[in-house]
Amino acid sequence: MRNEDYFRRAPWAGKRRLNGVDVIDGALTNPLAHAVATALALGGSTRAEHVSGIETELLRANAIESDDTSCVRITTAQGHPVTVAATLCAEEADEPYVLVHGSTGRITFWYKQDRVLLQRAGHGPEESDHGRTDLLENLVAHLTTGAALLVPPDETGAFMKVVEAIRTAPDPAPLPDTAWHRIPDENRRVVPGIDGLVAAAADTLSLYSELGAPWALTAEHLSNEVSTR
């Protein structure tokens, strides 16, 4: 979550365009871009040709141009949908995570904590911590010693297709005044019920409008569906 000062931290903060140039500083393309990229990577859909369609629902509670409460569903060539729901207007602070659904269980990955929870039918839950490989160090090693890149440019094509779909989507719809309230002591806006909707989107791979959020249904005509090749 972010307070209102967050959107005044730089001239481009909270903007979709600045001086005629697209900047697209939204929830899915900046603070929670890691969730999008990580979900695509865990689903094995990282290259541009792995993406066949993208649906977006971009909304905002704050007085900004860009989205602060959004979801996107990506159709992949493998047939595994990837849904990412995000908000900067959460009711409670929580760690972002990626949920992987399997035929007999699921994996939850808290990517900022490097923590994994494995849940399988017939087994107790297993939690583990994992080390992190610094991608900047890998880039330096690539430039100085020729080490292979862990994330070569071609492996970011799927993420860039999502960014492009958000860039070309209709401007985020403002939520009605009844859909949010301000917490004065924290100088931030909150969308009641959004925490549960984000969790439900992860559980069901649904968009906000499909989960019955009244403010999403009123803005559903602004959703953008892009077929890619």
- Per-residue pLDDT tens digits for 191-216: 999 999 999 999 999 999 999 998 88
Residue 164 has pLDDT above 80, yes or no: yes
3-class DSSP assignment, residue 208:
helix
* pLDDT band with cut points at 50, 70 and 90 for residue 218: low
d(CA 71, CA 52): 17
**Are the CB atoms for 158 and 50 separated by under 8 Å?**
yes
Which residues contact residue 35 at a Cβ distance below 8 angstroms, ignoring those fewer than 6 apart?
28, 84, 86, 96, 98, 111
What angle (nearest 5°) sits at the alpha carbon of residue 228, between those of residues 40 and 174? 75
Share of the chain above pLDDT 90, in %: 90
What angle (nearest 5°) sits at the alpha carbon of residue 10, between those of residues 137 and 30? 50
Question: What's the pLDDT at 221?
Answer: 44
